[in-house]
Amino acid sequence: MNYKELNSAFKKINNWYDKKTKVLTVKTRPFNTSIVFSNLINRVLYNNGKILYVWGCTDKEQIKKRKREYYNILIDEQKKNHIGDDIKFITIDLLEEVYDDFDLVIFDDISIFSSISKNRLREAVEDVYWRSSKIIIYSSEYVFPIGSKIELVYLVDNVPIVEPRFVLTRIRLENDIPLALYEYLKWFKKNKKRALIIVPSEYMLNKIYNNYYKTLKNDDIRVVKYAKEQNFGFVEDILEGYNDSVFIVTNSIGNYINFIDDLNIVMLFSDNESFSYKEIIYLCGALRVSNEFLPEILLVSKEISDDMDKSKNITRGFNQSLWERKLLKK
């Protein structure tokens, strides 16, 4: 944890809270820590204020786990047994069921894989605007036209976010594997790395899985299929008991990606309109970077879409901030 930057963020957030400005946007990279709000949360609770904490997702199972975790990491021990309903944790889709007024509302679109658009997040802020004394938006981009703004570097570690690499091809991806991509896949296999191969639809899931299974078995690469409606548990069982490369073909994008070690990502048909720049940058943020391993995220398509280009610019901007502040590990 970068405690120097964390303490600086504490001060900036508290300074904002003491001023009249109602909204604060904290821009940062996906999966940064929420501990940055612990200081202010406890300050509000000790003053008997009410807090609403809203996650920018609809994954109820993740929220069950996170609620318990957040009580432990965000709230002081002395206050935990006395807060009652002073702080509520909800997903953004439940916001319409909340009618209370709050001293502080935090929209966290960073710590869990986001499933909402920029417009949906802005609408949610507008929904609670007149029922909130103060609002914080924790997001990968600035979404609200008014209020204060601060940019927060990655606090968890001094490592870059993975920037997407474009692989352009005229080959029909459902029928064949481009040579450039095939070389990457062989490298993943040689180095015993895992790969998540993402496709935009269930139809393509079956086509790509059948093609890759037949082609890559000649290279002794294990390929499994994981459909969106399936439980990820069976894939976890495979990964736990297998020390060699495993390639997972899927049409599912979500928080489970954070928990796969030694992972690279290949997004096929990445110029498809179903893939947003926001999904891509969260995929980049989910990959674990270390001194020993710099993962790849390959966007494979015929053309570079606006969303692909925007995702590259945003991730590059996060890394540029680290370089400028001399925070990247050498």
Regarding the domain delimited by 3-151, which CATH topology (the fold level of the hierarchy) does it fall under? Rossmann fold (3.40.50)
Fold match, 3-151 / 165-324: yes
* pTM assigned to the model: 0.91
Q: Domain 165-324: give its CATH code.
A: 3.40.50.300
List the chain domain ranges. 3-151, 165-324
Q: How far is CA 111 from CA 18, 37, 72, 115, 155, in A?
A: 25, 12, 15, 12, 12
Reading the chain (330 residues) residue by residue, the pLDDT tens digits are 888 899 999 999 999 999 999 999 999 999 999 999 999 999 999 999 999 999 998 877 777 777 777 877 777 776 666 666 889 999 999 998 999 999 999 999 999 898 899 999 999 999 999 999 999 999 999 999 899 999 998 898 888 999 999 999 999 999 999 999 999 999 999 999 999 999 999 999 999 999 999 999 888 999 999 998 888 888 888 888 788 899 999 999 988 898 898 899 999 999 999 999 999 999 999 998 876 778 999 999 999 999 999 999 999 999 998 888 877 765
